[in-house]
Amino acid sequence: MEQIKYIIKERAEKIVLPEKLGFGQIFTDHVFEMDYNPKKGWHNPTIKPIDSLPMHPATSFIHYGQTIFEGMKAFKTINDEVVLFRPDVHIQRLNNSARRICMPEVDVNFVVEALKELVAIDSDWIPAKRGEALYIRPFMFGTDPALGVRPSFEYKFVIVLSPVGAYYPEGFKPVKILVQDDYVRAVRKGLGECKTAANYAASLLATEEAVRKGFTQVLWLDGVEQKYLEEVGTMNIFVTFKNEVATPNLNGSILPGVTRRSVIQILKEWNMNIVERPISIQEVISSYEKGDLLGVFGTGTAAIISSVGWLTYKDKNMTLNNGQPGELDTKLFNELTGIHRGEKEDEHGWIYKVEKKDFAVS
């Protein structure tokens, strides 16, 4: 692979971040880009000032959705270091998504190194409070200007960075979730486990309808019987029963979350009975009625750990833990954010340090 080309812009004014960052509305000064064609493979890796992407109106991904993305985070630790959380696993997942929709894979080590360089250049944008981070959005799309339905020959890969706070408008307070059975997000053997735009497009109408009714998001049921829990719009779901913590097994239609995977490992290390298995909505309701349901929480890069305070299915309204964050959820939130912030030792090798460097301004 070629060396990265750098076009670095000097900032005229100091970066001032708003008190409430929200999610994905502010972007840093630079992006990483590279291009693919079958002859050269990935080439022209460049870090440069953020700008619009010029695009032919027939660019294939706009029409046929051949586009994938990742979401990961960089953090500022309490010792003022800059770290990434499991970037290797995210880029491996990007490659899994790429294979599923006939796109070229990237070299994981090269992209992680490029990512470290980009984050180092824009590290002044990283917010430092607990729960805040620099959200990293790598994405890839087919660029052929062609209207035939086939995989594109040429692609672009881009990484943009965005300082973020809590994903939900509630902040890190418990969210209100509607169990959705009028629409489905994905079916097994379809694209559900692939981080591609189609899954998010499929979620929009249901989420809009739920938001209009006062919910934060929807909890999807399986695409065939609408009986088993799958995932929430932007996070995986965990149910804390009296004798077990359960999460839906990865059956092909659920996104294999990196936070999900990390939480399962942490719970095992805490000697908790964590099980990956099908969970029916009826089981959740009957456990609630028996008093055996201790809580429900979601996990995701954007959401971190988010307690579900209220869960509604048809005309059944369940208030969980009096609408307060669950004990386990809070412990997990503190554990993960503690690892991100360098307050807790990184016993798992999940943290990648970003070296601070001086880059010559072009």
User: Is 294 or 302 the residue whose CB approaches ligand COI more closely?
Assistant: 302
The DSSP secondary structure of 299-342, one letter per residue, reads EETTTEEEEEEEEEETTEEEE-GGGS--HHHHHHHHHHHHHHTT
User: Is 177 or 302 the residue whose CB approaches ligand COI more closely?
Assistant: 302
Please say whether the beta carbons of 157 and 94 come within 8 A: no
Determine the residue with CB nearest ligand COI.
Answer: 71
Helix (H) or strand (E) holding 110: helix 108-121
From 71, 138, 165, 248, residue interacting with ligand COI (rule: CB under 6 A): 71
Interaction mask 272-311, ligand COI, x per CB under 6 A: ----------------------------xxx---------
Q: What does the angle CA 141 – CA 231 – CA 284 come to, to the nearest 5 degrees?
A: 175
Interaction of residue 67 with ligand COI, rule CB under 6 A: no
Interaction of residue 237 with ligand COI, rule CB under 6 A: no
Minimum distance from CB of 103 to ligand COI (Å)?
18
Interaction of residue 234 with ligand COI, rule CB under 6 A: yes
Contacts of 91 (CB under 8 A, 6+ apart): 70, 106, 108, 111, 112, 138
Size of the site for ligand COI (CB under 6 A): 5
Nearest Cα neighbor of 218 from 185, 251, 246 is 185
User: Is 143 or 259 the residue whose CB approaches ligand COI more closely?
Assistant: 259
Nearest Cα neighbor of 156 from 68, 35, 39 is 35
Count the helix, strand and coil residues of the chain and give each as a percent rounded to the nearest 5: 25, 30, 45
Minimum distance from CB of 8 to ligand COI (Å)?
27
User: Is 165 or 300 the residue whose CB approaches ligand COI more closely?
Assistant: 300
User: Is 164 or 294 the residue whose CB approaches ligand COI more closely?
Assistant: 164
The residue type found at 209 is: E
Burial, 81: exposed, middle or buried (Cβ in 10 Å; 0-12, 13-18, 19+)?
middle
DSSP 235: B
Minimum distance from CB of 301 to ligand COI (Å)?
4
User: Is 106 or 281 the residue whose CB approaches ligand COI more closely?
Assistant: 106
Query: Taken in order 83, 328, 184, 89, is the CA torsion positive or negative?
Result: positive
Minimum distance from CB of 23 to ligand COI (Å)?
7
User: Is 94 or 318 the residue whose CB approaches ligand COI more closely?
Assistant: 94
Minimum distance from CB of 322 to ligand COI (Å)?
27
Contacts to ligand COI by CB under 6 A = 71, 234, 300-302
